[in-house]
């Protein structure tokens, strides 16, 4: 499985619709300060369901919507879509290619889509459990995160091993059934 593309529109500094294509192997994103490199990582975090505005370096969730510049009006919604090659079916769905889309309107209305079909955030989270992908996964290492892993509490470090070992989904299910 690998990340094939990221498509952004109206997300942070990306007013126009832009598609970043990736291939197998390593891709570096370079550019001057403030040109939007971290915004690309934020887009991936966001489409995977990040709900904590601080993690997205904003004050409110609407701050991810393009807020306009001197010569360009603000936009009314933000949209991010990532496409993963799933030929090896590491994601437990039948599709060879999986596109996850998240949209947010200024009104606060939002939606998630899985291969173009409306779904719940829960469905997306469940699909990514134990894959190492996901907003909590170790596939996105933010600034300061290495520090947190090294100097974190034993329970926090344990979570990382649980995810790597692939037992998070069983723990979640157990907790859910205990609550019922
Ligand atoms: P550095 O090299 O300093 O880390 P960077 O390339 O990672 O820079 P980003 O942090 O990704 O840069 O981009 C910051 C830019 O994004 C700023 O110019 C900021 O104004 C712009 N930006 C963030 N949110 C929005 C928004 N909602 N609307 C318009 N522009 C935005
Ligand atoms: Mg940056």
More confident site: 30 or 142: 30
Domain presence at residue 88: yes
Task: Specify the CATH number for the domain of residue 109.
Answer: 3.40.50.300
Q: Is 170 among the domain residues?
A: no
Centroid of ligand 2 to alpha carbon of 3 (angstroms): 20
Measure the CA–CA gap between 4 and 82, rounded to whole angstroms: 8
Q: How far is the CA of 45 from the centre of ligand 2 (A)?
A: 14
Task: Look at ligand 1, atom 24, and give the residue with the nearest C-alpha.
Answer: 12
What is the pLDDT at residue 33?
A: 95
Which helix (H) or strand (E) segment is 160 a member of? helix 154-165
Whether 38 and 57 have beta carbons less than 8 Å apart is answered as yes
User: For 118-127, what is the mean pLDDT?
Assistant: 94
Between 75 and 128, whose confidence is greater? 75
Whether 156 is covered by a domain: the verdict is: no
Q: What is the pLDDT of residue 121?
A: 94
- Inside any domain, residue 37: yes
What tens digit of pLDDT does each residue of 60-103 get? 999 999 999 999 999 999 999 999 999 999 999 999 999 999 99
Name the burial class of residue 18, with classes exposed (0-12), middle (13-18) and buried (19+) by CB atoms within 10 angstroms of its CB: middle
Domain that holds residue 106: 2-120
pLDDT at residue 166, as a whole number: 78
**Is residue 10 scored above 90 in pLDDT?**
yes
> What's the complex ipTM?
0.98
CB atoms within 10 A of CB 20: 16
* 171 found inside a domain: no
CA of 12 to the centre of ligand 1 (A): 7
Q: Is the pLDDT of residue 136 over 70?
A: no
Contact 72, 15 (CB under 8 A): yes
Residue 106 lies in a domain: yes
Nearest residue to 110 (alpha-carbon basis) of 140, 74, 80: 80
Atom 2 of ligand 1, residue of closest alpha carbon: 33
pLDDT, tens digit, 9 for 90 and up, residues 26-41:
999 999 999 999 999 9
Integer distance in angstroms from the first to the last C-alpha of the chain?
35
Residue 19 has pLDDT above 90, yes or no: yes
Is residue 138 included in any domain, yes or no?
no
Residues contacting ligand 1 via CB (< 6 Å): 12-13, 31, 33-39, 63, 65-67
148 assigned to some structural domain: no
Give the model confidence (pLDDT) of 64-73 as tens digits: 999 999 999 9
Overall domain count for the chain? 1
């Amino acid at each position: 499985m690998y990340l094939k593309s990221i498509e952004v529109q109206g997300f942070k500094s990306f007013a126009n619709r832009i598609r970043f294509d990736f291939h197998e192997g390593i891709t570096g994103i370079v550019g001057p300060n403030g040109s939007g490199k971290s915004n690309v990582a934020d887009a991936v975090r966001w489409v995977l369901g990040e709900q904590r505005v601080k993690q997205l370096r904003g004050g409110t969730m609407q701050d991810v919507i393009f807020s306009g510049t001197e010569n360009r009006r603000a936009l009314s919604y933000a949209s991010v879509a990532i496409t993963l090659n799933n030929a090896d079916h590491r994601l437990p769905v039948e599709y060879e290619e999986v596109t996850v889309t998240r949209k947010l309107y200024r009104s606060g209305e939002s939606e998630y889509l899985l291969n173009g079909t409306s779904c719940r955030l829960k469905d997306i989270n469940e699909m990514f459990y134990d894959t190492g992908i996901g907003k909590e996964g170790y596939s996105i290492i933010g600034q300061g995160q290495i520090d947190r892993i090294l100097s974190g509490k034993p329970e926090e470090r344990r979570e990382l091993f649980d995810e790597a070992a692939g037992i998070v989904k069983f723990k979640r299910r157990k907790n859910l059934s205990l609550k019922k």
